[in-house]
Chains A and B, each alone.
Chain A
């Protein structure tokens, strides 16, 4: 097992926190894990991203050349990472801040209006945690129980309210995605199709 996940968005959206939470939870499950933030020539207000690699054996490189999963929080990240994910992998996209769709048919994608959902539930700041919950529902890299415990650990120095808010956000994201994926699976049975080579060419590969 070797699962590489890239989280990408704008600085301040909580992209690095998402990656850190996933890495921490994977550590709690006694898996091998690396967390690698993008560093260096990144500019303020530009894209921020990090890669989390989870495995049941030693991890060679914390940098993923073709991640299995990509979580996209804003439009510039979609533009930058459209061709980055491996064929057959998955994309989770914050559709509140992304215009249009992913122009690829060789990957699974789930569009979640995370910013809107977060705003409705009380705070826009929870969008990242809702996406993280949805990501767990999609990928199953770690269990929800571990993630909830990890959040309690990570925010242990803050007050109880911070832990509650984050745990609730992750849970509601998970529930939303689980319901959405359930619908998707039902529909997929009717219109199952393989990615056509033409479609891949159209995606600019």
Chain B
């Protein structure tokens, strides 16, 4: 907005506001969404900032739409994306379910988009408390068909900003929808945020060109974007191309943070809000002399299997997948460990946020009897 916004300065921001500001800075010029708690501050922020941006840079043509439903929001994104615009929508669990058809279509048509899911308790309408109940949905594609979406899982408000900023580059790079997943706590909480110098406001004119985008066919043959490919051999070829792209993402993009894993003989795996609790619990255990470490997946897909497997190879006694659900990511930990060590699970569903003391108790119990899985 003003010049002072461009120089790095600490701001106290809500998680949803950090996502919104990062999106604007990353060049997002199309937002559509339908209200749902606990993410309403994000569309509110986007409505304000898109308006400000329009006043300042009318040539950027920023658009905010409160759509009539989640379905229309995601399909508006499809339309915006096909023209090359950086675009975003956001919702919370039940709304994200509604968007899955559109996400599947965009994955099929290889269209970039950023979708933010501030998860809540479920199934059904569930509640609005912090939960990680949509892990399966987020990491297995979500909609129908043979595809995956990149899934980023921030654990601080700073990371809500950083990963959202990056999500737009990843979406464009692979021409694939990218999910940013948080929960009511990540969305509502305020923490200090700094937008660094390498995260400047990016104007549309300076973004990398998208030669594939549909912006009028004058002087060239017409092009089509569609996910309906009836001849089996053509569909197969398309599936192979998507598969090779997803494989490349699996090779290049897995990311995780490791906390005191080097000498650990017990490793907790947790993401997002749960990872915050786990970090504190691990510290408590370390203070008591227990050699416990933490692996925090930052990308939920592609899953950081490699680093977990390497850790298992070094002779870790046991793993504990700690989640705010009834056990979803634990499958991926088991797939990564491949029987090298027992994999335990502890979770609190329904929007209950366990305390570090509670988790530290669980860790101590398993630490003393690592072979016995629950």
Residues of A within 8 A of B (CB): 20, 23-24, 27-28, 33-37, 39-41, 58-63, 65
Which of B12, B129, B185, B276 contacts A24 (CB under 8 A)?
A: B12
Residues of B near A27 (CB, < 8 A) are: 10, 12, 192
Interface size range on B against A: 20 to 34
Given contacts A35-B190, A60-B280, 19 further A-B pairs with CB under 8 A are A20-B12, A20-B190, A27-B12, A27-B192, A33-B12, A35-B12, A35-B189, A36-B190, A39-B37, A39-B184, A40-B128, A40-B129, A60-B276, A60-B279, A60-B356, A61-B273, A61-B276, A63-B353, A65-B355
Pairs A–B under 8 Å by Cβ, sample size 23:
A27-B10, A33-B191, A34-B190, A34-B191, A35-B12, A35-B191, A36-B185, A36-B188, A36-B189, A36-B190, A39-B37, A39-B38, A39-B128, A39-B188, A40-B128, A40-B184, A60-B276, A60-B280, A60-B281, A60-B356, A61-B185, A61-B280, A65-B355
Residue in A28, A40, A61 whose CB lies within 8 Å of B38 = A40
B85 interfacial contact with A, CB 8 Å: no
- Report Cα–Cα, A36/B190, bound state, in Å: 6
Q: Does B277 contact A (CB under 8 A)?
A: yes
Cα of A63 to Cα of B276 in the assembled complex, Å: 12
Q: Which residues of A contact B355 (CB under 8 A)?
A: 61, 65
A183 to B19, CA, bound (A): 49
What's the minimum C-beta distance from B348 to chain A, rounded to whole angstroms?
12
Residues from chain A with Cβ under 8 Å of B128 in the complex: 39-41
- Name the A residues within 8 Å of B127 (CB-CB): 40
State A108–B121 Cα separation when bound (angstroms): 37
Residues in B lying within 8 Å of A, measured CB to CB: 10, 12, 37-38, 127-129, 184-185, 188-192, 273, 276-277, 279-281, 353, 355-356
Query: When chains A and B are docked, how far (Å) is the Cα of A28 from the Cα of B12?
Result: 10
Main SS class of interface, B: mixed
Residues of A within 8 A of B280 (CB): 58, 60-61
Whether B12 lies near A23 (C-beta < 8 A) is: yes
Residues from chain B with Cβ under 8 Å of A20 in the complex = 12, 190
How long is the Cα–Cα vector from A33 to B11 in the complex, in angstroms? 12
Please measure, in the bound complex, the distance between the C-alpha atom of A58 and the C-alpha atom of B284, giving whole angstroms.
13
Separation of A37 and B37 alpha carbons in the complex (Å): 14
From B12, B129, B184, B277, give the contact of A61 (CB < 8 A): B277
User: In the complex the two chains form, what is the Cα distance from A23 to B280 in whole Å?
Assistant: 21
Residues on B with C-beta less than 8 A from A41 are: 128
User: With A and B bound together, what is the CA distance between A33 and B279 in angstroms?
Assistant: 16
B residues less than 8 Å from A37 (CB atoms): 188
Give Cα A28–Cα B188 distance, bound, in whole angstroms: 21
Q: Which chain A residues lie closer than 8 Å to B190 at the CB level? A: 20, 23, 34-36
Taking a contact as CB atoms under 8 Å apart, the answer to whether A40 and B37 are in contact is yes
Across-interface contacts of B188 in A (CB, < 8 A): 36-37, 39
In whole Å, how far is B4's beta carbon from the nearest beta carbon of chain A?
A: 10
- Min Cβ gap B251→A in Å is 31
Q: Could you say which residues of chain B place their CB within 8 Å of the CB of A23?
A: 12, 190
Taken together as a complex, chains A and B put the C-alpha atoms of A23 and B11 apart, in Å, by: 11
CB proximity of B203 to chain A, nearest CB, Å: 25
Give the complex CA separation of A31 and B355 in angstroms: 21
Distance in angstroms between the alpha carbons of A37 and B190 in the assembled complex? 9
* Whole-angstrom CA separation of A40 from B281 in the bound complex: 28
Chain A contacts of B192 at CB under 8 A? 27, 33
Q: Is the beta-carbon distance between A61 and B191 smaller than 8 angstroms?
A: no
User: What's the Cα separation between A63 and B280 when bound, in Å?
Assistant: 14
Residues in A neighbouring B353, C-beta threshold 8 A: 61, 63
A28: B residues at CB distance < 8 A: 10
Interface hub of A20, A27, A60, A65 (most chain B Cβ within 10 A): A60
Task: For the complex, give the distance between the alpha carbons of A178 and B276 in Å.
Answer: 37
Give Cα distance in the complex from A61 to B129, angstroms. 14
9 closest Cβ pairs, A-B complex:
A60-B280, A35-B190, A27-B192, A62-B189, A40-B128, A60-B276, A60-B356, A36-B189, A60-B277
